[in-house]
């Protein structure tokens, strides 16, 4: 369902590059605001996380953003080896693909500007 008053034809999705500077964003969470305003570009530059933003095409205003990072699912994420083995079996990994860890993508941050909420 699309929020009333939001024109989805005017939305763009961009990758925030290290040289990109976000001037204004307020989601009501100081840590999330600080990240997109001051640290997202550095995280991208140092390959720690990649951030993507949903912007208003007309104004360029960032309406929402998320940051993704590489991660892994490993034995040490589970309370014991039995639980990890259940995860692998339930996920459908064939026996020859039962590794000690699996690549994953972590959603590190997700913020929606107050002006775009509802």
pTM assigned to the model = 0.78
Model pLDDT, residue 87? 87
Query: Is there a domain that residue 1 lies in?
Result: no
Domains of the chain: total = 1
Domain around 36: 8-116
Answer yes or no: is 111 within a domain: yes
What is the CB neighbour count within 10 angstroms for residue 114? 11
User: Does 49 score more than 60 pLDDT?
Assistant: yes
Please list the alpha-helical segments (H only) found in the chain.
30-34, 40-45, 81-90
Judged against a pLDDT cut of 90, whether residue 67 lies above it is answered with yes
Residue, of 7 and 20, whose pLDDT is higher? 20
Cα separation, 8 vs 71, in Å, equals 32
Pairing of strands 62-74, 101-112: antiparallel
The answer to whether residue 2 is domain-embedded is no
DSSP classification of residue 19: T
* CATH code of the domain covering residue 29: 3.40.630.30
């Amino acid at each position: 369902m699309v929020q009333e008053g939001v024109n989805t034809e005017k939305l763009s999705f961009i990758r925030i590059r290290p040289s990109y500077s976000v001037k204004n964003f307020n989601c009501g969470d100081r840590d999330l605001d600080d990240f997109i305003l001051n640290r997202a570009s550095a995280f991208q530059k140092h390959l720690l996380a990649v951030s993507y933003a949903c912007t208003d095409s007309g104004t360029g205003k960032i309406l929402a953003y998320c940051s993704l990072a590489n991660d892994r699912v490993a034995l040490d994420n589970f309370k014991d080896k039995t639980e990890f083995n259940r995860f692998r079996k339930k996920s459908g990994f064939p026996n020859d693909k039962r590794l000690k860890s699996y690549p994953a993508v972590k959603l590190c941050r997700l913020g929606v500007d107050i002006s775009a909420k509802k």
